[in-house]
Amino acid sequence: MKTRMHTKEVHIGNRVIGGDNPILIQSMTNTRTEDVSSTVKQIHALTDAGCEIVRCTIPSEEAAKNIPEIKKQISIPFVSDIHFDYRLALLAIENGTDKIRINPGNIGSEDRVREVVKACKERSIPIRVGVNSGSLEKDIVEKNCGVTAEGLVESALRNAAMIEDMGYDNLVISIKSSDVMMCAEAHRLIKDKTDHPIHVGITESGTVYSGNIKSSIGLGIILSEGVGDTIRVSLTGDPVEEIKSAKLILKTLGLRKGGIEVVSCPTCGRTRIDLVSLANNVETLVTNYPYDIKVSVMGCVVNGPGEAKEADLGIAGGDGVGLLIKHGEVVKKVKEEELLSVLKEELDNWE
């Protein structure tokens, strides 16, 4: 793991990113922000899963005017996602958003960007300058003979400089692409060119299956380079899945502690239990516990105890029976159907 990129601190509502602060997990609602009840319900679910900053689309005046009511009912910072209409950015700012996300290239003229910047400056609201490979400026695409990592960086720095020239530097930068390796290279290139906090993610990465693989590879590379102050795993599906994935990526890279890690064997011909269901049930069960421990789920009582030695706690199933294993030692033999409840009882009394 390379030394973490030095960035400035930025306050977003009741959170601080950049500097030596922890890398925070972000997600985006997929409800209509015009529907306060559904949006708040989803934000609560995201918060319970571990989301620390939430972004909502603001496509209409009604959505912008709902911000105060939504904020009254949530506990994490609210970020307004703005495209095309700078007046919606102004309305979101007026209604108390904690941060705005804009792509200056699609907001319109420089005068319109200036109005947004002026409003943010008056209220000390940070601006996330978002650049995607699908919306690069025409001159940058032509200069680089297509969409490139260099072009992503050039666009982001150009737009950040424009806002800085307007007298405001309370900024966060994001440079995203669905091309994993291009995205990773762009983050390598920008590391030494700015001190603004960086929000990282692989945009439009796909379904829970393909999106998780692409995001894990891309974010693993980027975070290992020391780049990233907030992250989002972008998935087509329930955004709660984004939080689960982001937490595991950070934990796997040693960038976050806390929470139980589950390891399970891939099954083989010796497996005589429904290990897939058992492992999934264990993974769901352990989300309720804060312990920084490893739990193993093995499908064979022959090698289970040996394979579980590196775990703090484990279960191994056989033909109708199972073992509870603690620190590599078998402590109890139980019926197969009791494995999950025995594990839960052990976790309930863990010290």
**Which is more confident, 206 or 348?**
348
Q: How high is the pLDDT of residue 319? A: 73
Q: How high is the pLDDT of residue 272? A: 66
Number of residues that this document lists for the chain: 351
How many secondary structure helices (H) and strands (E) does the chain include? Answer: 14, 15
- Please, are residues 254 and 1 in contact by the beta-carbon 8 Å criterion? yes
Compute the distance between CA of residue 170 and CA of residue 164 in angstroms, rounded to an integer. 9
* Of 130, 182, 133, residue with least CA distance to 156: 130
Q: How high is the pLDDT of residue 190? A: 94
pLDDT at 236 over 80: yes
**CATH number corresponding to 10-252:** 3.20.20.20
Q: How high is the pLDDT of residue 116? A: 93
| Fold observed for domain 261-348 | Sulfite Reductase Hemoprotein; domain 1 (3.30.413)
Query: Among positive and negative, which fits the CA dihedral 132, 12, 259, 285?
Result: negative
- Nearest 5°: the CA angle 207, 211, 215 is 165
* Of 125, 112, 117, residue with least CA distance to 86: 112
pLDDT at 205 over 80: no
Query: Among positive and negative, which fits the CA dihedral 86, 236, 264, 50?
Result: positive
Q: How high is the pLDDT of residue 98? A: 97
Q: How high is the pLDDT of residue 59? A: 94
Lowest model confidence (mean pLDDT) among 73-82, 102-111, 213-222, 327-336: 102-111
- Nearest 5°: the CA angle 122, 128, 132 is 150
| pTM summary value | 0.86
Q: Span 229-235, mean pLDDT?
A: 94
Give me the residue label for tokens 């400035």.
8
Extents of the domains making up the chain: 10-252, 261-348
Average pLDDT of the residues of the chain? 89
